[in-house]
Amino acid sequence: EIVLTQSPGTLSLSPGERATLSCRASQSVSSSYVAWYQQKPGQAPRLLIYGASSRATGIPDRFSGSESGTDFTLTISRLEPEDVAVYYCQQYDSSPRTFGQGTKVEIK
């Protein structure tokens, strides 16, 4: 089973700042089969990024994804108040699909 480790656990930033969320895989994830989901308080998760760097339909371009080896990154270029949420990475390269433990993004 591929273990995904997200860091930091909590990110507290001011509006307009850049948020960088990390997701490290315990082994190689082939062909960038990593997705990122946003879960706002009291809501279901929403797909943000798939294939490590492709934005889902309707997702603002301030959200971007990248990868470097077994390290995957979600970047929010200019944080807005509505971005307060928990963000999860997931690998869908092998079964079982696994999620990271989540990074909580707060506004200062």
Write out the residues near another protein by the rule CB under 8 A: 31, 33, 35, 37, 39, 44-47, 50, 56, 86, 88, 90, 92-93, 95-102
In whole angstroms, what separates CA 42 from the centre of its chain? 18
For residues 56 and 29, what is the distance between their CA atoms, to the nearest angstrom?
20
Nearer to another protein, 18 or 26 (CB): 26
In angstroms, what CA-CA distances link 104 with 39, 84, 100?
A: 9, 8, 12
Nearer to another protein, 14 or 95 (CB): 95
To the nearest whole angstrom, how small is the minimum distance from the Cβ of residue 40 to another protein? Answer: 12
